[in-house]
Amino acid sequence: MAKRTNVVFILVDDLGWKDLGCYGSTFYETPNIDKLAQKSAVFTNAYAASPVCSPTRAAILTGKHPTRVGITDWIPGFDPKDRTLLGPNDLHQLPLEETTWAEALKQKGYQTFFAGKWHLGDEGFFPEDQGFDINKGGHHMGQPPGGYYSPYKNPRLSDGPEGEYLTDRLVGESLEFMEANQENPFLLYLSFYTVHTPIQASKRHLEKFRIKRQTLADSIPHIASEGQGYTTQGQTNAEYASMVYAMDENVGRILDRLQELDLMDNTLLVFTSDNGGLSTVANANRVAPTDVLPLRAGKGWAYEGGIRIPLIIKKPGADKGLVIEAPVNSMDLYPTVLNTLKLEARPEQHQDGVDLSGLWENGVEEVHDVLFWDFPHYHGSAWTPGCALRKGDWKVIQFYEGNKAELYNLKEDIGEQNDLAEAHPEKLGELMKEMEKVKAKLGAKAPTENINNKTNSKIDL
C-alpha cells in the first residue's frame, strides 16, 4: 500500500520578497532553499493576506480572508488614541469555531505537529486547541520573549543548554517528530520566529557576513522617506544575513532528513512568509534590517513591499522547477493542501482560497479576479489606516486619512512610483467600486473619526 502524502509547511516570520537568493538577493545566502526552488513551483506574485502577521496566520490556517475571520491587526495591535482616526475593534484570538487545516488533516488520521511562532491567541487558543497534537514554542507572543538564545522564557518550550539558538532548536524538535512518525502520515508546521526582531545574529555565521559586507561596493544602507516613515535601501545588515543563513541551514536539515527517511517523494513542501520584509520604520533613529527593492515600503504597508512574499511549493515527486506569475495569496494554501492530499474540499471553510494545482498541472493562467488587503489600523511602520485591491495589472490603495486614493500599473511600475489616479480616473473609479463590493462581501470595518482629538479637522470617511 502506497504511503499517504505528508505535509511539511515552513513559515518564516517577516521574510521579505528579496531575502532569498532565488528571489534575487546577492548579499544574503540561501543555498538550500535555492536548491529546493529548482524542483518547485516558484511564485513571483505571491501575496500575504495582510501586511502584518496575525491576520495572515489566521488566513493561512482557515482559508478565509482575515477580515472574514475578524482579525485585521497583529495581536493585540496598535491603536493609538491620539491620532486622527480610531481603528475598528478586532479579535485577539483565532475563533475555535474555525476548522483549521490542521484539524482537517487530524480528522483524516494525520499526526500534527507545530513548532515556533503562533501569535493567534492566549491560553485556550493555542496550537493544541486548533488541531495540533504537539506544540513546541507556540504561544500568544509575536516574538521570542527571551530572544533567540536559551533561556527562552517561553511557556511552551523548555530551555535548552546555554547558548542554544532558537532556530536550531525548533528544527531539532521537528526532526524528532518526523523520525517518530515516519510510518504515519503527518503534518509538520514549522513556523520560525526568525527573522522577526530582535535581530540577534547566529553567532557561528556572523563573521562570514561581516567579511562579505566589506566586499560590497556600498556597505552603508541608504534611507528613503515613506510618508512619515523611513525605508532602508540596501541589503547590508550582517546580523540579519546570519539569521537568514541559519534559517536556510535548518531548512537544509529538514530536506536532508526527508531524504534519509525516504519521505521526500511522498511529501508536499511549502515555504513562505507571513508579510513583507521589515524595511520601513517610523523612528528616524532606527534603521530597518532589510531592503526589498524594487518594491516600495515594507512590512505594515499595503504597497508591494509590505505584502508581496516568497512562495515555493514542491509537490510530491517533483524534480523540475517552474516559475508561476499568477497572483496568489495566503488563503489558497488550505484548498491546495487538501487537493494534493486527495482529501475532500471544505468550501464552507476555505471560502476565500483557491486550489493552486491547476497552475502547474492544467495550464491555468489565473486563479483570482481580484485580491484585497484590509489594514484599517495604524502601524509602527508609519502606515496609516487603509486598504488596497489588485485587479489584473492595476492596483488601487485607499488611505482613510484625507480619503485619498492612489492608482498604479504594476506591470509597468512594480515600484509604485507613478501614481496614475489623475491620469486614469475611469480606472480608478472602476477599482474603487470593485473594492467597495469586496468590503461589503467580507464585512470590512472602516476606522472612525477620533472626536476626542481636538487638533484634527473633520475627516470625510
160-215: pLDDT as tens digits = 999 999 999 999 999 999 999 999 999 999 999 999 999 999 999 999 999 999 99
Q: C-alpha angle 355/11/74, rounded to 5°? A: 95
Q: What is the mean pLDDT of residues 383-396?
A: 98
Give how far Cα 341 sits from Cα of 33, 131, 311, Å: 23, 17, 19
Does 397 map to a domain?
no
Q: What angle do CA 289, 291, 297 make, to 5 degrees?
A: 105
Decide if 130 is inside a domain. Answer: yes
For residue 372, what is the enclosing H or E element? strand 370-375
* Model pLDDT for residues 47-103, shown as the tens digit of each residue: 999 999 999 999 999 999 999 999 999 999 988 999 999 999 999 999 999 999 999
Per-residue confidence band for 344, with pLDDT thresholds at 50, 70 and 90 = very high
Asked if pLDDT for residue 27 goes beyond 80, the answer is: yes
413 within some domain: no
Tell me whether residue 334 is in a domain: yes
Look at residue 439 and tell me if it is in a domain: no
- In this prediction, residue 461 carries a pLDDT of 32
Is 458 a residue whose pLDDT tops 50?
no
pLDDT in tens, 173-182: 999 999 999 9
User: Grid cell 527573522 — which residue?
Assistant: 195
Using a cut of 0.85, tell me whether the model's pTM lies above it: yes
List phi, psi (to 5°) of 408.
Answer: -135, 150
| Residue 109 maps to a domain | yes
Residue with cell 467597495: 436
In-domain check, residue 376: no
- Average pLDDT on 247-268 reads 97
Q: What is the mean pLDDT of residues 324-328?
A: 97
Rounded to an integer, the average pLDDT of 403-425 is 97
Write out the residue range of the structural domain in which residue 271 sits.
6-368
**CATH code at position 97:** 3.40.720.10
Is residue 383 included in any domain, yes or no? no
